[in-house]
Amino acid sequence: LAKTTQPISMDSYEGQEVNITCSHNNIATNDYITWYQQFPSQGPRFIIQGYKTKVTNEVASLFIPADRKSSTLSLPRVSLSDTAVYYCLVGGLNTGFQKLVFGTGTRLLVSP
Amino acid sequence: DTEVTQTPKHLVMGMTNKKSLKCEQHMGHRAMYWYKQKAKKPPELMFVYSYEKLSINESVPSRFSPECPNSSLLNLHLHALQPEDSALYLCASSHGAMRDFSYNEQFFGPGTRLTVL
């Protein structure tokens, strides 16, 4: 499984756009990139996933360059409630399930 | 219903006790997972069940014994635990079908906070 590297922490203010970059130099051809969010004492929650180029949903955007060795999670106009740990994961499918290996994650603190 | 439930929410046990953690989902998912998370650390995969069969055991000590009685239910039996086993135990489920990757999004429960004295 490809190892991921993220900043340990980031600070932002309400209303700003936050970009969290993840490095995954050893990503394999059949690997997807997935981001999860976790609040204290709760289970992680799926945010977004992608394979290449750009993916957007109602919560975030995921930018993946052509070489796929990195990816950037973009959170538009963050609020206080976006304070959480964000995990970048890289992996492919196994038969019927996916093995997730969480890296250290990025602790995002949003201030007023 | 897109919810994974876990009981109990909190559990305190002695090193000689036997207890069980329970996880339930009614989304028709066929893959279920146990993770362990220590404070300020990422979740670590322990076990994966696919179609009620144990598919992955990440070299977990035998004092942790998983069980999948049916497609909706996942248990984790605990016996002779150590204080260092104190952690948040998370259960997750995913669709489990080899289809569109998005079907394998994992839905996590709120976890059981376990303290071993």
Q: In Å, how far is A6's CA from the nearest CA of chain B?
A: 13
Strands of chain B (E only): list them.
4-7, 10-13, 18-25, 31-37, 44-50, 53-57, 64-70, 73-79, 87-94, 107-108, 112-116
d(Cα B21, Cα B104) in Å, to the nearest integer? 24
Residue A3, pLDDT above cutoff 80: yes
**Interface contact flag, B111 A105, Cβ < 8 Å:** no
Residue type, B114: L
Output the pLDDT for position B105: 84
**Interface contact flag, A98 B94, Cβ < 8 Å:** yes
pLDDT in tens, A18-72: 999 999 999 988 888 999 999 988 999 999 999 998 999 999 999 999 999 999 9
State the DSSP code for A81. G
C-alpha closest to that of B3 among B115, B113, B105, B93: B93
